[in-house]
Structure 1
Amino acid sequence: MLTLTSCSDWLNLEPEDGVIRQEFWKTKEHVKSAVIGCYMSAQTGVVESMFLWGELRADMIENGTSVNNNFSEVMDGEISAANSVVDWADFYNVINNCNTVLEFAPGVREIDGTFTERQLNEYKAEVLTLRALMYFYLVRSFRDVPFVTEAYISDDQDLYVGKTSGAIILDSLVADLQYAAVNAPSAYATNAENKSRITRWTARALLADIYLWQENYTACNNVLNEIIGSNRYSLMPVEQTKEYVVDGGVLIDSITIPSESDAERIFVETYVRGASPESIFEFPFTSIKNNPFYSLMGPQVNQLRPKLDVVDEGIFPLPVYMAYPEASDIRGSGFSYRAGVIWKYVGTSRTGAARAATEYTAPWLVYKYSDVLLMKAEALTQIGLATSGEVVSSYYRQALELLQQVRKARNAVETSDYKFDLENLDGKTLEKAILDERAREFAYEGKRWYDVLRHAKRNNYEGNNLQYLITLAINSATPQKQQSLIAKYRDPNRNSHYWPIFVREIETNKNLTQNEFYAN
């Protein structure tokens, strides 16, 4: 871990102690240790915020048995700058750690003759990608934020940085990730490192995600093709048994029943052991270093739980035929949620016991292969919507094939909404189907709010796009708060779709201005 001393509370960007700096940056082993420290600094506060920022404003969780007033206010749309949920300090701590590596690692090459240029470039690619991930969360959450790319190593430096346009920041991240995509390692010595350290495939997944947010769909599609073409990742298969539905002696339909042992294997490899074949990048946890989710969602003390009136039967449709209850989506009950808790972080298996309080070791998944497939499906759909002529159907068919690839692997319930007419595919219908599939595939993985906001803001909130957020408000807020939340989302300047800057930052840094919606 990087050792820092505090000279300012602002952004947690404390200068590194000079004595330690002089003694530390001597060998390539020191550089590697500092890089690993960057990852470690993201494991608790950042991961918790990634979950909260992506789920509290969405529609799949509600207050648990131990009500947290800060969480409750966010879910009701009563968000204030005094709410600690919006504190960004942990993200900027990681950013400063990454900046410190970028500042001092090049100098180690002059001291350690065994430290090669390739090794330096690989370490730079890792921390540039990790820093880009932090900034991508900040831009999607606050829009315009301070953009700090230099390490804070001296009390003489100006700590009070104003905001930079989110659009400018994203363009800079794209350039960093283009560098990382060709300089980060393709693979490490172990599978665990391949999943818990940044590879060039991680950099490309993040780059594609940013392109999707920027509405650069062709670039997004091209980068995702590189990941798919690497053949390094795959969806874990689920054996399915076909059953025929007969009514009055007449065959009326067929359904598939997934192998329970295969469903169990996917759950255990993904959320218990970690480093599954589907994982591209994840933050791992161990019995020594637990994830932050026990107090949030443990069975006895949970502050948050699944919003079952939305999740059960809504996000996850019931089996079409009640005589075949086992013909269900493997990602629903017993996987994403069970017994009133968010099961993928709590359970030891689909049907087994909950974890002990000291064994909250489920990894935090940042990107997995299904994300690549569904991002590509979304990009192709948007290319089709912006295209005319006969080629449009080709884009839609490719998108549908990718969507169905994920659905088949999870034994998704084939309701009437998913019986597409291949001769008359509609882009907006496909767009919604992909968004709904993402809700199932990434349930409680911190993506839901950002997915919905991305759809709402598309083409400058064109047409009826804002309805995506309105539906979210209807599903998430209490009846007493519904109309006020809807009114906030209809704010004509769209500033309500982003967080306020935490009050402590505004008070400390006079160069910061509060986000307009929260300024008064």
Structure 2
Amino acid sequence: MKKLLKYTFCSLLFLSVSGCSNSLLDKEPISNVSGEGYYKKPSDAQAGVNGIYNGLQSLFRQNFAYWGEGRADNIVTRHAGDPAALQQNTLTPVINSARWDNFYTVISRANYAIKYIPQAFGTEDSELKRQLLGQAHALRALAYFYLVRIWGQVPLVTEPYEGLDQDLFVKKNTEAEVLAKVEADLILATENCASNYSGARNRVMITKGAAYAFLTQLYMWQKKYAQAIEMAEKVIADPQYALVPIEDWNNIFVKGSSTESIFEVGYNEVQPNNLRVWYANGSDSDYVPSAGFIASIEPDDLRKPRIYDVSQVQPRKIWKFFGEGFNDESPEPSAGNIVLTRLADILLLKAEAHASLNQPVEALDLLNRIRIRAGLPVLDQNKAQSQFGSLVGSILHERSVELCFEGHRWFDLLRNETAISTMKPINGLSDKRNLLWPIHEGELLKNPNLQQNEFYR
């Protein structure tokens, strides 16, 4: 019991107040304190929200590619551990990517911020207060959206743990309940977040545009196509977002903070991530392009040599995130940001929504904007049908290539209910219950009210 309480209450870790507004990526958590005792002034509220972003860094640093790409068809691996388990569909409750504790660290920090930011500002109704609340709600929503897509039913916790009278052994909520809270949080974020921030912070902090983009993803997941279109239009209408020219395509990831980017998880040399481990260690990286993915790329696609080393018969280098000719033996850590959503993602989601509503003119216009940039011929409905089986199929193909290795492919397969048909010939996936991850055994041991997902019992 003492071990459980220590685990729970230590989940709230705040950043140093010093330099909090300009050092989002550089500060480490320094203490465990109560929210009521911590949030005394606006700078404390800013530091508390910075702590949520810090938690987001830790969350995606290790498992981002495993959750979004590891179980899909665009990659192959020769590595043991999570890469092999995911590719071979032999998931167990002890693999690292089955852990959800970092998600709940983000959620815990957000819950404290949401409760105590008003206290830090007192009766003052300031723009900063509204912005910080909006960011906290959006970051909590982002964590829960990933949780549902990975594990299905999960506990919905919206209050901070502050006393022994609270129920520590929470039960799962339905997916609908959790996603309703995701929607509410993101709507609040659209109403309170700033339209933009100064400098590089503009892409690593939640803006109105980022909240609209994540609402677009949410509504597409729920097949609420009209709502998805409405949210996507708000992103597309924002003049700060624009597709980059093809010659700058790699710089979306290499340099970060491009005009195409909407929200990135920020990293630097002090707090690097595993992008190189996943993709850029040559023959020793976790993942390389699969033969099926390579064959799917159309002739003369200008993105092809920007994705991997085309000079190799069996490509061993994914340099999309590092630039053409990247030295895969470089000892430097990966300091590049992880781009969670960008304009191309939203354009193609909107195209998919239009296609699903039998609105081919609108869908093709958006699809062809991406194809033209890639140097590909435009498609009409007949060509889309003959080449890719359907208009939706052509859009999903375009997402597969344009957004390759960015953490979207597995969720695209799930959203369109094609995960089993795609992966069964590759690894035998055949049971819908197997689409979810197992809950890590450590979580089950800490909480007797949790039940393992059905396929893994």
TM bracket, shorter-chain basis? 0.7 to 0.9
Match of 1:29 in 2: 43
Distance 1:470 1:188, change over 3 A: same
After superposition, the CA RMSD in angstroms is 2.7
Per-residue CA shift, 1:339-372, capped at 9, x if unaligned? 5122123x3x313434733341221011100111
Report if the CA contact (8 A) 2:76-2:288 is conserved.
yes
Whole-angstrom distance in 2 between the partners of 1:210 and 1:171 = 10
Match of 2:261 in 1: 279
- Say whether residues 1:329 and 2:311 are aligned partners: no
Length, aligned pairs only: 435
Match of 1:183 in 2: 192
Match of 2:423 in 1: 472
- Say whether residues 1:311 and 2:293 are aligned partners: yes
The one of 435, 446, 450 equivalent to 1:512 is 450
Report deviation, 1:409. 1.1
The one of 55, 69, 74 equivalent to 1:55 is 69
TM-score, length of structure 2 as denominator length:
0.88
Whole-angstrom distance in 1 between the partners of 2:437 and 2:119 = 39
Distance 1:234 1:300, change over 3 A: closer
Per-residue CA shift, 1:140-173, capped at 9, x if unaligned? 1111001111112334432211000011111121
Per-residue CA shift, 1:480-507, capped at 9, x if unaligned? xx4xx24xx2x3xx22111111111112
Match of 1:223 in 2: 231
Report if the CA contact (8 A) 2:76-2:287 is conserved.
yes
Structure 1 residue ranges without an equivalent (≥5): 239-262, 320-327, 385-394, 457-465
Whole-angstrom distance in 2 between the partners of 1:469 and 1:23 = 50
For residue 333 of structure 1, give the secondary structure of its aligned residue in structure 2.
Answer: helix
For residue 281 of structure 1, give the secondary structure of its aligned residue in structure 2.
Answer: strand
Amino acid at match of 1:379: A
Whole-angstrom distance in 2 between the partners of 1:453 and 1:503 = 24
Report deviation, 1:302. 3.1
Whole-angstrom distance in 1 between the partners of 2:326 and 2:447 = 50
TM-score, length of structure 1 as denominator length:
0.78
For residue 280 of structure 1, give the secondary structure of its aligned residue in structure 2.
Answer: strand
Match of 1:123 in 2: 132
Correspondence 1:242-253 to 2 at 5 A: none
Amino acid at match of 1:507: L
Report if the CA contact (8 A) 2:156-2:178 is conserved.
yes
Report deviation, 1:70. 3.0
User: After alignment, is 92-101 or 42-51 more displaced?
Assistant: 42-51
Report deviation, 1:423. 12
Match of 1:104 in 2: 116
- Percent of pairs identical after alignment? 28
Whole-angstrom distance in 2 between the partners of 1:33 and 1:413 = 49
Match of 1:296 in 2: 278
Per-residue CA shift, 1:353-403, capped at 9, x if unaligned? 34733341221011100111101101111111xxxxxxxxxx111101100
Distance 1:156 1:298, change over 3 A: farther
Amino acid at match of 2:446: T
Report deviation, 1:33. 1.3
Report if the CA contact (8 A) 1:6-1:14 is conserved.
no
Report deviation, 1:60. 1.5
Report deviation, 1:56. 1.0
Match of 2:376 in 1: 412
Report if the CA contact (8 A) 1:381-1:427 is conserved.
no
Per-residue CA shift, 1:37-70, capped at 9, x if unaligned? 2111111333432221111110122224xx2233
Match of 2:367 in 1: 403
Correspondence 1:440-519 to 2 at 5 A: 440-456=401-417, 466=418, 469-474=420-425, 477=426, 482=427, 485-486=428-429, 489=430, 491=431, 494-519=432-457
Whole-angstrom distance in 2 between the partners of 1:20 and 1:152 = 9
Per-residue CA shift, 1:257-276, capped at 9, x if unaligned? xxxxxx2x321x21211101
Whole-angstrom distance in 1 between the partners of 2:69 and 2:9 = 24
- Say whether residues 1:194 and 2:225 are aligned partners: no
Larger Rg: 1
Whole-angstrom distance in 2 between the partners of 1:149 and 1:505 = 19
Whole-angstrom distance in 1 between the partners of 2:154 and 2:37 = 34
Structure 2 residue ranges without an equivalent (≥5): 15-30
Amino acid at match of 1:296: W
- Say whether residues 1:44 and 2:8 are aligned partners: no
The one of 242, 266, 284 equivalent to 2:249 is 266
For residue 284 of structure 2, give the secondary structure of its aligned residue in structure 1.
Answer: coil
Match of 2:27 in 1: none
Report deviation, 1:424. 8.9
The one of 291, 316, 332 equivalent to 1:340 is 316
Per-residue CA shift, 1:428-471, capped at 9, x if unaligned? 70011111110111111111000011001xxxxxxxxx5x5322
Whole-angstrom distance in 1 between the partners of 2:303 and 2:187 = 34
Report deviation, 1:198. 0.3
Match of 1:157 in 2: 166
